[in-house]
Amino acid sequence: MWLDGLRVPRDGEPRPDRITEVPELVDTRGGWRAAHRPQDPAKDPREPYGSESSSVGSDHAWSGCTMAAGAVAYAYEAHYAGHDDAPWGGDMRHHQDDMDGGTDLGDLRTAWSRYGGLNLTIQSGSGWSAVAEAHQAGRAIVIQGEGDCPGSGTFTGGHACAIGPETDGQGRWLWSDPVTTAWQWVTPGSIKAWAERLSSGVLFGVTRAAAEVDVGVNELELTAWTAELGDLAAGAKVLNLDGSARLTASGPRSVSVLAATTTPGGTAARLIVWTAAAPTPDLLLMTYTNQLANLRPASSGGGSDDVDAAIQERDAEWEEWVLAGAPNQPQD
C-alpha cells in the first residue's frame, strides 16, 4: 500500500464530535502566524458548501481533519509566496474529488492545486528526521498520526494536524489540532510518537520554506543590495533558478547580489546572486536565507579597489566550480 493514500479518519472509525477549548496563543514574537482552523461545522463557514445540506456539511467537517490542517498549511504557503489567503477546511474539501469519509494527503495536494495553484510537497515515508529538518527550515507541515494525539485534543483515531514553523523557549512546536479551538505548544517527541503509531515512515507534507519563493529576476524589487558584495552565512540554501537544490553553504561565503527583496513581514531575504563578473543564464543562482541577519554587507577593509579585487577573486572561484559541474561543495 502506498502510504500517501492512507485516509484519515480511516473508514469505519468513529469521527470526532466536539471541539476542545484551549487558550488562545496571542504572542507570535513578531513573526507571522496563520489562523487556526477547527474542523467543527459550526465554525467552518464553508461547511456546508453551496447548496449542500447541513448533514452533509457535518459529515464533511467531522471527517475533514486533513483538509482543515491542510488549510492552515496552505495559508503559510500562500504567505511565503508573497500573498495572503486563508482558506477553511471546507474550501479544501470542495476542491478535490473525495467527498465520502476521510481524505488523504494526495487529496489535499489536489485541493491546493485547484484552489489556488499551489503545490503541497508530500514527503511520506521519509521518517521523523525529515519532519524535524522541515521544521528547522521554517516549513509548515501537515502530518498524520493515530492514538493519543498531542496537546489537548481527545480524538484517538486516525487524525491529521498542522505544525507551524515556530518553536517556543522550551523547545515546543506550534501545533494546530483541528479538534481544538486554537494553536497550542506541544513537544516534538509527542508528535513523533503519535505520527509513528500510524506509520513508522511518517505521513506528512510540507510547504516551501519561509524564504523560498520561485521568482525570476524581473519580478524582484531592486534594493540597495544591487551589484554589491555580500556575505552569505553558513547553512544558507542555494538553489538553481528552477527551484532545484544546488548546495548548502558550508561556511560564510561572499556573493555578488544582483537583486534582493524581503519576504512579507521582512523576516527573511530572497536574492538572485551571480557567480561570475558577467552573469550568464547557466551561472545564475537563486539563494534564500532564513533570516535577514544571515546576509550583511561585506567590507574588504580597504577602498573600492580592494572590493573589486575581492569580487573578481570570488567570481573566478565560483565560475571554476560551476563549470566543473558543481561537485559537492565549493572550497572556501
Residue 248, Cα to own-chain centre: how many angstroms? Answer: 18
* DSSP assignment string, 235-255: T-EEE-TTS-EEEE-SS-EEE
How large is the average pLDDT for residues 55-65?
96
pLDDT reported for residue 269? 43
pLDDT at 164 over 60: yes
CA distance 229 to 260: 12
pLDDT reported for residue 80? 81
CA distance 104 to 101: 10
pLDDT at 158 over 90: yes
Q: What is the pairing mode between strands 203-206 and 121-122? A: antiparallel
pLDDT at 272 over 90: no
Residue bearing the bigger pLDDT, 264 or 177: 177
pLDDT reported for residue 186? 97
- Determine phi and psi for 175, rounding to 5 degrees: -135, 125
Maximum Cα–Cα distance across the chain: 74
What the chain holds in terms of domains, given with CATH numbers, is: 3-206 (3.90.70), 217-323 (no CATH)
How large is the average pLDDT for residues 229-252?
52
Grid cell for residue 266: 521582512
CA distance 201 to 6: 13
CA distance 126 to 106: 16
pLDDT reported for residue 289? 39
How large is the average pLDDT for residues 148-171?
92
Q: Which of 174, 171, 243, 203 shows the shortest CA–CA distance to 107?
A: 203
High-pLDDT (> 70) share of the chain, %: 61
- Determine phi and psi for 315, rounding to 5 degrees: -60, -40
